[in-house]
Structure formats: structure tokens, C-alpha cells
Structure 1
Amino acid sequence: MAGTLAGYDPFDALGTVLGVYLALAALATLVGMPWQYTGGAGVMVLQVVGCVLTFLVGAALLGLVYRVGR
């Protein structure tokens, strides 16, 4: 196993997995439309903004991992 992973940084794999997870979780939340169960427009706006920000953090993490890796 050490020979297989000899040239890889473990933080690259961790950053990639975490970035993909955040992006997919944000998209799944938006597709699931959780705001249909809330009572107000303010909560709906906060949920949408939170989902978009989560997606952006995941995408930024992926960009950072692949930009630093070069």
C-alpha cells in the first residue's frame, strides 16, 4: 500500500472528497426543496443563500486543491 500512495499528499485526497461532498450536498438540498416545509419567505431565502454558499465553498475548496497541486 505504501508503494501505491507514495507520491500523493493525503490532504489532496481529503480536500477533493470534502469539496465534492459539499457541492453535492448543496445541490441535493436545493433539489429536495426544503423550503416547502417552512412558514415564511425569510427562512426560504436563508436556506437558498446557505445552499449557494455551501456550493461555492465546495467549489472553492476543489479549485484550491487543484491550483496548489500544480
Structure 2
Amino acid sequence: MNLDIGVFEDELDVLGVVVGVLVALMGVGTLVGMPWQYANSAVVTVGQIVGAVSAIVIGAGLAYFVHSTA
């Protein structure tokens, strides 16, 4: 199967970038949804914020890593 994928090297490059962007968007969605408003403790609130920011960093890092490596 020969697809015209433009700036991407192969189909797996496209898949890696799409998954990375999806993970980052899920982290952004978690932050926008403000799940900590239902938390009963500060520890849970901090954990939810750290987890959402970590998802954004991991997703963006995955997309960058997959696309930048040859």
C-alpha cells in the first residue's frame, strides 16, 4: 500500500504523531474540565493537575520524538 503522506516518512510516523497529539489533547481536556472541583483534599487536586500536565508533556514529547527521528 503506497500512500502519499507528505512530510511524514512512513505510515507509522503518522500514527505516532496522531497518538501523541491525542494524548496531549486528552491532558488539555482534563485541565479544561477541572476535575479537581470535586476533590475533597489538596493532595488529590495536586495529583490531578500533575497528571494532566504530565499527559500534555508526554503526548507532545511523543509526537516530537516520533516525527524528529529518522
TM-score range, shorter chain: 0.7 to 0.9
- The aligned amino acid for 2:29 is A
What is the aligned partner in structure 1 of residue 13 from structure 2? 12
What is the aligned partner in structure 2 of residue 45 from structure 1? 46
The TM-score with structure 1 as length reference comes to 0.84
Deviating above 6 A after TM superposition, structure 1's stretches of 4 or more consecutive aligned residues are: none
State the identity %: 43
Write the distance in 1 (CA, Å) between the matches of 2:2 and 2:13.
Answer: 17
Residues paired across the two proteins, number = 68
Deviation at 1:12, TM superposition (A): 0.6
Write the distance in 2 (CA, Å) between the matches of 1:19 and 1:40.
Answer: 31
Which consecutive unaligned segments of at least 5 residues does structure 2 have?
A: none
The TM-score with structure 2 as length reference comes to 0.84
TM alignment of 1:22-33, pairs within 5 A:
22-33=23-34
Which consecutive unaligned segments of at least 5 residues does structure 1 have?
A: none
RMSD in angstroms over aligned alpha carbons? 1.9
Write the distance in 2 (CA, Å) between the matches of 1:3 and 1:63.
Answer: 24
Deviation at 1:14, TM superposition (A): 1.4
